[in-house]
Structure 1
Amino acid sequence: MFGIILFNDFAKLNEFFSNTFFKKNMRYFLLLFFIQVHSQVIIQDSIYIVTRGTNEKRELIADNFNLYNKNITHVGIGICKNNNLLIYNLMPTEDKNNLIIDNLLTFFNRDNIYYKAIYSCAINSSNMNLLINKLTNLKSINLKYDYEFSIHNDNFYCSEFVAYLLNNLEDFDFKTTISDSCFEYYPADFFLSDPRFKLVYLNQINNLIKQ
């Protein structure tokens, strides 16, 4: 119980991170976090946008390009399979395929994360089948991370990848944003333009949050 309470209170968590007891039992506390989130928010007939925010990317990405939430620096799309949330996201890697399939533990197991949020949207079985088939096909090809952040090539950055998947479903039509410098892009928080995506989990270090 103490571990679960701890992960709901980042003021205490900040202080506890440097504690030797935490370091020795970090895997245990991460497991409690996983169980807590999974039991609270995972529903079979929904898709999930799983987001995180890191200090390194906030000024570079979120502050300059996000429209609704200045704390989101990375996004992935999640579906429930065999009672596990699988999070598909694009990241720069040395592998031939830059498509990463995370679970909650691995997605949030990054340095300097101060913001974690999960949004859900109920979809029908037809859309779910479309999404699963598209993801199955994408796993078989070598997707490349788009270092140019261009929507006019065959590569993807994280939010572009999620927007591409959603726009392949029925009743979703996310548009790009054009910056003052005429840069066309999908911001990391693009999905928040659709009120069907509801916040179902939030965990943050309050003194680092961008209002």
Structure 2
Amino acid sequence: MTISSICNKIFNETTEHYHEFDDVDAIPQNPYKEGSIEYLLFKKNWIDAVQWHLEDIIRDPEIRPEEALKIKRRIDRSNQDRTDLVELIDDFFLEKYKDITVAPDATINTESPAWAIDRLSILALKIYHMQQEVERTDATAEHLQKCRMKLSVLLQQREDLSLAIDQLIADIEMGKKYMKTYKQMKMYNDPSLNPVLYKQKK
């Protein structure tokens, strides 16, 4: 199986699994061996699924301000967890291809494999929820038609992104492209880098 096939399979299964609970506090049972790429992919998509629904909840116009703040803090933590998972997935690829001989004319990609895979995970959620919209029985014909068109675009986007990921991995395997990763260094989460936080200590 190609890496994109593995990703899409796990992302689809994980998204479906989340919706068996449809609960942002549900605790999943990751079916894959800890440390494997499959384990990381499952964990990645679960984080994305939970955050997707937290983003829905926080937009409730009737939400109490204190509850909204609590969810905003949770989304911030989730974003950091998501970034950490992406970097772990990139570490997997760096280790896997560390002995590849890089061609003298090899080029670097605009994004690493894991950040492209991150977009594939989000696409799985977009496709799932757009499919739910297409199947609604309480929506207008105009709404359903617009959603069918959007779903078609999302499916094409997943096909194109999957192909691009597989081509990138193939190029890395052949030494035609090489990987470099940069830690995201999210400054607002770091008490020593966010001035709002470190000024409070003075």
Shorter-chain TM-score bucket reads: under 0.3
Name the one with the larger helix percent: 2
Greater C-alpha Rg:
2
Q: TM-score, normalised by structure 2?
A: 0.22
Using the size of structure 1 for normalisation, the TM-score is 0.22
